[in-house]
Structure 1
Amino acid sequence: MNDTPGARLQALFEGHRLTPTQRRIAHWMVRRAADVPFLSSVELAELAGVSQPSVTRFAVALGFDGYPALRRHLREVAPVEPARPAPGAAPSGGAEANAYQQAVHAEIENLRHLAELLADPAPAERAGRLLAASRPLPVLGLRAAAAQARGFAYFAAKVHPDVRVLDEGGSMLTDRIDTAVRAGASALLCFALPRHPREVVDALEYARAAGLTVVTVADSAFAPVARHSDLLLPAAVGTALAFDTACGPMLLGRVLLEAMCDGLPDAQARLEEFDAGAAARGLFVE
């Protein structure tokens, strides 16, 4: 069982119906799990980009008398001091980081958080088994997430016998899900990144109704796709630049590839066969 501060926070939020604003607060609390017990309600509100009363209402929604009671509870289960500098901060004694460096520092923090979540490998291992067993394996990703879906599918096709990329929306999307189900698919992998297209939510709802087990890589455990996923693995995106950065979701996709390979007995043989063919064709410049 993962017992990191972030995991304990997620367990605290489970079972509560949260509003979009409250999900945003929860998301930022998980991202800054080591710091949250030491933040005031005003500081947390600024971090999450919400109002201070929203933070108070959030604490009450979780069953506490107010934010001070929530913070006292968090201090009982958290380290006695913040674990590390805030994302974007310059190294101790150094000059203040510029905007580009801050974006990199924020992504490093996202990857640290992902590493903490992967301390419990069971969810990734379960996802790997589900993906390996699905023949064919549909991989869904629209708009901002299309690149993640295509990247995963490119490598997955080297070890999985039938990978189908669903990277275009429209009326054909449900048709392609139906085709995959008729061909024997048992699971669907979805990459869901902000801003979340309504089509993705609708497609996941449709896929589950069609009998598919939905495995989702999303930017947050509280993303809109969460309630339409059987297994959701979160990996935060960076928001420091004009366009989001997705190092965490990309790395988590590679982790799922590794876990899927563990569930495919002939994965290594397929890779060796590909390497031999590539060498014979002179496919790559060494």
Structure 2
Amino acid sequence: MDETPDASGAAARLQKLFEGHRLTPTQRRIAHCMVRRAADAPFFSSVELAELAGVSQPSVTRFAVALGFDGYPGLRKHLRDVGPAERIAESAVANEYQQAVQAEIDNLRHLATLLADPEPVARAGRLLAASRPLPVLGLRAASAQAAGFSYFARKVHPDVRLLDEGGTMLADRIDAATAAGASALLCFALPRHPREVVAALEYARTAGLVVVTVADSAFAPVAGHSDLLLPAAVGTGLAFDTACAPMLLGRVLLEAMCDALPDAQARLEEFDAKAAARGLFED
């Protein structure tokens, strides 16, 4: 689909509609599907939505009732009343590769809409800046996001600890960070969500850490184990998910953390001086 900024607004309206409701995992799956297809959501029948989300048609009805509507027709009418009057036209993009790029552009537009309120990111930046050390968790598909964040964060934060391997040692490393004075943990969580990530976040909160999570959806399985969740959608048009929006949100978090670190600029200048002295870079 070739979505416009109106589609990003539709996704934001759906996120707001779903907030504050205690949804079951099946219902979160339906919600995530509707956010991903926000422009078309008002036009889906309950059968179509069930098929897209991989759930039963009665599950869609129960989902609508959980949101406070009499049934799915009431939910669909509400979406049509508050959204654009016409279904957005099918994309003229020629091939699946271009469509995947367009989908990521739409995800970035949606992220820009969410960042219209900068306070959640600013709060996250303050939490991360204050944590000494700062553990950063990301397993499997999310390991690249966690590693990228950690690489840059080490230039301005005195003690960043990357947790990118699971197993029985993970809890030990969380314990070590907590014992060293950590107050927060940053997690990147992308589909498919490993069970041990959910378990690790639950353990981290039990240990007293505040959990800040970048996830693909506000309804991801990690949501209930996060103190502050920042959503950034992934692209699903190719054989493997694409994660441009989560990566960019990670860089935005870095910026917010730098803003909360009074010596961030001095540390960057110190690094640049040492890099020049050692001849690290060609440019």
Normalising to structure 1: TM-score of the pair? Answer: 0.90
Contact kept, 8 Å, 1:204 with 1:229, in 2: the verdict is yes
Contact kept, 8 Å, 1:152 with 1:257, in 2: the verdict is yes
Contact kept, 8 Å, 2:135 with 2:184, in 1: the verdict is yes
Question: Counterparts of 1:249 and 1:85 in 2: how far apart (Å)?
Answer: 27
Relative to structure 1, the CA distance from residue 80 to residue 5 in structure 2 (aligned partners, 3 Å threshold; closer, same or farther) is same
Contact kept, 8 Å, 2:12 with 2:110, in 1: the verdict is no
Question: Counterparts of 1:24 and 1:163 in 2: how far apart (Å)?
Answer: 33
In structure 1, the residue matched to 2:150 is: 153
- Matching residue's letter, 2:269: E
Contact kept, 8 Å, 1:5 with 1:34, in 2: the verdict is yes
Deviation at 1:76, TM superposition (A): 3.2
In structure 2, the residue matched to 1:78 is: 83
Residue in structure 2 matching 1:23, options 7, 25, 28: 28
Match of 2:116, SS state, is coil
In structure 2, the residue matched to 1:263 is: 260
- Matching residue's letter, 2:158: P
| 1:69 and 2:74 correspond | yes
Deviation at 1:67, TM superposition (A): 1.4
- Matching residue's letter, 2:187: C
In structure 1, the residue matched to 2:65 is: 60
Deviation readout 1:80-106 (Å, 9 max, x if unpaired): 445x556xx225xxxxx2121121111
Match of 2:155, SS state, is coil
With 41-50 and 240-249 compared, the bigger mean Cα shift is at 41-50
- Where in structure 2 are there 5+ consecutive unaligned residues? 1-7
Contact kept, 8 Å, 2:9 with 2:110, in 1: the verdict is no
Deviation at 1:260, TM superposition (A): 0.5
Deviation readout 1:12-65 (Å, 9 max, x if unpaired): 223333232221110122233344234333443344344444322321222211
Q: How many residues align?
A: 276
Match of 2:158, SS state, is coil
Deviation at 1:151, TM superposition (A): 0.5
Normalising to structure 2: TM-score of the pair? Answer: 0.91
- Matching residue's letter, 2:228: L
| 1:90 and 2:92 correspond | yes
Match of 1:168, SS state, is coil
Match of 1:164, SS state, is strand
Contact kept, 8 Å, 1:158 with 1:271, in 2: the verdict is yes
Match of 2:187, SS state, is strand
In structure 1, the residue matched to 2:5 is: none
Deviation at 1:75, TM superposition (A): 2.9
Question: Counterparts of 1:122 and 1:35 in 2: how far apart (Å)?
Answer: 30
Question: Counterparts of 1:28 and 1:126 in 2: how far apart (Å)?
Answer: 28
Match of 2:211, SS state, is strand
With 25-34 and 178-187 compared, the bigger mean Cα shift is at 25-34
With 207-216 and 33-42 compared, the bigger mean Cα shift is at 33-42
Deviation at 1:200, TM superposition (A): 0.6
Question: Counterparts of 1:151 and 1:138 in 2: how far apart (Å)?
Answer: 13
In structure 2, the residue matched to 1:162 is: 159
In structure 2, the residue matched to 1:8 is: 13
Deviation at 1:116, TM superposition (A): 1.1
Relative to structure 1, the CA distance from residue 120 to residue 34 in structure 2 (aligned partners, 3 Å threshold; closer, same or farther) is farther
Question: Counterparts of 2:103 and 2:14 in 1: how far apart (Å)?
Answer: 20
- Alignment RMSD, CA only? 1.9
Question: Counterparts of 1:228 and 1:44 in 2: how far apart (Å)?
Answer: 27
- Matching residue's letter, 2:188: F
Match of 1:202, SS state, is helix
Deviation readout 1:134-160 (Å, 9 max, x if unpaired): 010000011111111111000000000
